[in-house]
C-alpha cells in the first residue's frame, strides 16, 4: 500500500456531490485512411483492456482506517478489478457534431467516480462526422495532475503513423517502455536528491528556515500594502458573478488557436506566452461580465497553477503550487491591461524565488489552507480566495498518432469548486493551443460566448500592438476542430481610438490567407 500525501488527500476531502474532484480531457482523432470504423474501434477498445499489471494507482482503490479521512489514507490493489467497468464504448446521436460531443462530455464530467473502485474511467466515443472518433478520460485529481496526464497521453501516442500499440497505455509494460525514452534526473543535471551528509542536512534546514522567513516577510508586506504588484489569495478579490455556489451540472466548451498567434502577442508586449494567455482570458471575462451587467469595480484575480515537477519526474501524482494573478479587468485599454498582468505574474514568480520545490509546496499549502476551511462552511462564495482558475499545461509540440489515427486536438477539462464556477485550462498540441472551459451550468449562463470574446480580446491586443489581426487563415470550425477562429475585427477595432492602427493592421498581409479573416464581420460557428 502507498500512503497519500497531504495534497492528494486534500482533493478527496474537498470532494462533494456538487464539486467532483476529477480532471479529464477529450481527445479527438481521425481514422486512418481505408480503416473500417467498427473494426478499428473494436480493436482499439480491446487494446485498452489489454494489460498484465496496471500502473499505480490505476489498479488501486482508496483505503482508510478507523478515523476515515481524518486519519491516514492509502492506495491498495483492488482485489476485484473490473476493467469492463472502466473502459466504456459510447456513440453520439445524429448528426454527430462537436456540439453533441461536448454535450456528452459535459454530462460525463458531472458524475462522481466510485470510491470503491480505482478512480478513473475511459470512454471511447464513435458517431462523429468526417470519420472521426473521440476519447474522454477522467481521473481523480488525487491520482494525477496535468503534467502527469500529458505523460500518460504521450505514452500511448507516436509521431509515426505506422506505429501500433497492442497494450493499454496504463499498463506497467507500456509505462516502463515510455520511461526508458525519457532523460533521467541525473542526465538533466539534477543529481542525487538525497542529502548524504550531516553538513548538507544542516544547510538544508538553515536554508529552508531562511527562505520561509523571507517568504513570510514578503507575505506580510503585501498585506500591509507594501508588496507592489504582488497578489495573494483573498487579497483585493472582488465578489463577482463567477463566485457563487455551484450545482452539480457542468457545461464544457472548447476551441483551438494557433500557438504562434498567441506567442506573437506575448512577444509584442515584451511578455511571455502565459502573459498573453492571461490577457486573452482577461479581455474575454471583462466582456462577458459587462454583457451580463455584473462587472465588479475591482479587478478579477486568477489562480495560476505552477508545476514543480522536476525534469525526469513522471511518477509524482501532484507536484504543483500556484500564484495569484491580477487580470486587470478594471482597465479598458488592452495594452495597459497586459502590462498590469505582466507585473503581477512577475511579482508572483519572484515571491517564490530562491525556494526549493518542497518549500514552495509547503508555503503554497499554508496560504491556500483558509480556502479549504471555507468550502465546507459554505462561505467560499462570500470570501473567494480568487475569482477563477487559468491553467496552462505544456503539451506535445508535434503531430501525433494513436495506432495510425491522427490526433486532431486534446481539450482539457478541469475542476470547479463552490464559489469558483469557472475554470479555463489549455494544452499546447502540435502548432495549436487547445482551450477547455468548464463551468457550472447554472451559475454561468451562455458560457459558450467566452469563445467569441476570447477571439475579440486577441484582436484587440493585435490591433493595439500594430500586428496583423486574425493570424493564419483556417477552415470553418464545422470542418476542422483545430482551425483558426476567424477574426471578428469590426467590434474590436471600433474600440480603439488610433484610426491609423485600425486601418493599417488588416493591410499588413493583403494575401488571400489573412485578408478574409480580417474582414469577416459575422461571428464564427463555435464548438459547444
Cell numbers at 431, concatenated: 502548432
Give the span between the Cα atoms of 22 and 20, in whole angstroms. Answer: 6
Cell numbers at 486, concatenated: 476567424
Q: In what order do the strands lie in the sheet with 401-402?
A: 87-91, 120-126, 132-140, 22-30, 405-413, 401-402
* Residue 338: closest CA among 388, 269, 287, 286: 269
Largest CA distance in the chain: 72
Beta carbons of 29 and 157 less than 8 angstroms apart: no
- Decide: residue 480, CB within 10 A, 0-12 exposed, 13-18 middle, 19+ buried: middle
- List Cβ neighbours of 482 (8 Å cut-off, separation of 6 or more): 256, 408, 409, 430, 432, 434, 474
Cα dihedral 254/258/264/265 (nearest 10): -20
* Residue 389: closest CA among 319, 300, 290: 300
Instruction: Find residue 396's DSSP bridge partners.
Output: 429
Q: What is the DSSP string of 471-513?
A: -S----TTT-TTSPPPP-HHHHHHT-S-HHHHHHGGGG--STT
Active-site annotation holder among 22, 109, 141, 241: 141
Strand 301-307 relative to strand 388-396: parallel, antiparallel, unpaired? Answer: parallel
Other beta carbons within 10 angstroms of residue 218's beta carbon come to 19
**Active site annotation includes 292:** no
Query: For the chain, how many residues are written?
Result: 528
Give the span between the Cα atoms of 288 and 278, in whole angstroms. Answer: 15
Q: Quick one: the chain helix, strand, coil %, rounded to 5?
A: 35, 20, 40
Beta carbons of 270 and 299 less than 8 angstroms apart: no
Give the span between the Cα atoms of 173 and 165, in whole angstroms. Answer: 11
H/E stretch holding 86 = helix 83-86
H/E stretch holding 61 = strand 60-65
Beta carbons of 270 and 336 less than 8 angstroms apart: no
Taking each helix axis from N to C end, the angle separating 198-223 and 334-351, rounded to the nearest 10 degrees, works out to 140
Give the span between the Cα atoms of 338 and 271, in whole angstroms. Answer: 9
Active site residues: 141
Amino acid at each position: 500500500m502507498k500512503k497519500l500525501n497531504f495534497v492528494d488527500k486534500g482533493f478527496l476531502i474537498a470532494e462533494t456531490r456538487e464539486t467532483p474532484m476529477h480532471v479529464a480531457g477529450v481527445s479527438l482523432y481521425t481514422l486512418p485512411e481505408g480503416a473500417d470504423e467498427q473494426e478499428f474501434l473494436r480493436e482499439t477498445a480491446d487494446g485498452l483492456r489489454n494489460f498484465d499489471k496496471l500502473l499505480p494507482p490505476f489498479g488501486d482503490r482508496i483505503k482508510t482506517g478507523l478515523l476515515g479521512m481524518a486519519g491516514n489514507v492509502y492506495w491498495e490493489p483492488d482485489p476485484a478489478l473490473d476493467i469492463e467497468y472502466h473502459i466504456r464504448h459510447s456513440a453520439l446521436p445524429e448528426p454527430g457534431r462537436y456540439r453533441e460531443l461536448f454535450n456528452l462530455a459535459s454530462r460525463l464530467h458531472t458524475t462522481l467516480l466510485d470510491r470503491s473502485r480505482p478512480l478513473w474511467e475511459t470512454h471511447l466515443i464513435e458517431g462523429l462526422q468526417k470519420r472521426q472518433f473521440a476519447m474522454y478520460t477522467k481521473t481523480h485529481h488525487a491520482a494525477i495532475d496535468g503534467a502527469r496526464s500529458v505523460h500518460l497521453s504521450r505514452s500511448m501516442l507516436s509521431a509515426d503513423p505506422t506505429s501500433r500499440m497492442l497494450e493499454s497505455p496504463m499498463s506497467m509494460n507500456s509505462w516502463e517502455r515510455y520511461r526508458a525514452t525519457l532523460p533521467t534526473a541525473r542526465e538533466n543535471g539534477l543529481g542525487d536528491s538525497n542529502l548524504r551528509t550531516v553538513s548538507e542536512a544542516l544547510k538544508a534546514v538553515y536554508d529552508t528556515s531562511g527562505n520561509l522567513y523571507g517568504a513570510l516577510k514578503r507575505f506580510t508586506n503585501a498585506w500591509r500594502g507594501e508588496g507592489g504588484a504582488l497578489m495573494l489569495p483573498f487579497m483585493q478579490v472582488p465578489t463577482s458573478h463567477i463566485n457563487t455556489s455551484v450545482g452539480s451540472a457542468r457545461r464544457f466548451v472548447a476551441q483551438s488557436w494557433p500557438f504562434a498567434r498567441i506567442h506573437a502577442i506575448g512577444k509584442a508586449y515584451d511578455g511571455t506566452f502565459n502573459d498573453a494567455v492571461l490577457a486573452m482570458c482577461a479581455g474575454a471575462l471583462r466582456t462577458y461580465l459587462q454583457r451580463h451587467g455584473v462587472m465588479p469595480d475591482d479587478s478579477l484575480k486568477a489562480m495560476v497553477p505552477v508545476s514543480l515537477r522536476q525534469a525526469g519526474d513522471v511518477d509524482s501524482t501532484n507536484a504543483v503550487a500556484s500564484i495569484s494573478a491580477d487580470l486587470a479587468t478594471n482597465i479598458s485599454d488592452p495594452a495597459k491591461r497586459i502590462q498590469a498582468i505582466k507585473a503581477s505574474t512577475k511579482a508572483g514568480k519572484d515571491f517564490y524565488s530562491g525556494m526549493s520545490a518542497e518549500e514552495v509546496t509547503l508555503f503554497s499549502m499554508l496560504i491556500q489552507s483558509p480556502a479549504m476551511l471555507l468550502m465546507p462552511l459554505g462561505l467560499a462564495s462570500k470570501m473567494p480566495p480568487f475569482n477563477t482558475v487559468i491553467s496552462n499545461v505544456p503539451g506535445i509540440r508535434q503531430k501525433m498518432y494513436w495506432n495510425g489515427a491522427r490526433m486532431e486536438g486534446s481539450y482539457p477539462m478541469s475542476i470547479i469548486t463552490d464559489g469558483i464556477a469557472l475554470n479555463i485550462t489549455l494544452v499546447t498540441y502540435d502548432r495549436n493551443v487547445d482551450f477547455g472551459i468548464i463551468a457550472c451550468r447554472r451559475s454561468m449562463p451562455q458560457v459558450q460566448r467566452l469563445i467569441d470574446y476570447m477571439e475579440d480580446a486577441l484582436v484587440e491586443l493585435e490591433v493595439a500592438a500594430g500586428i496583423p489581426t486574425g493570424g493564419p487563415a483556417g477552415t470553418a470550425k464545422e470542418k476542422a476542430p483545430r482551425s483558426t477562429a476567424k477574426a471578428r475585427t469590426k467590434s474590436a477595432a471600433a474600440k480603439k481610438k488610433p484610426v491609423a492602427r485600425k486601418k493599417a493592421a488588416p493591410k499588413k498581409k493583403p494575401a488571400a490567407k489573412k485578408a478574409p479573416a480580417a474582414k469577416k464581420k459575422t461571428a464564427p460557428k463555435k464548438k459547444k
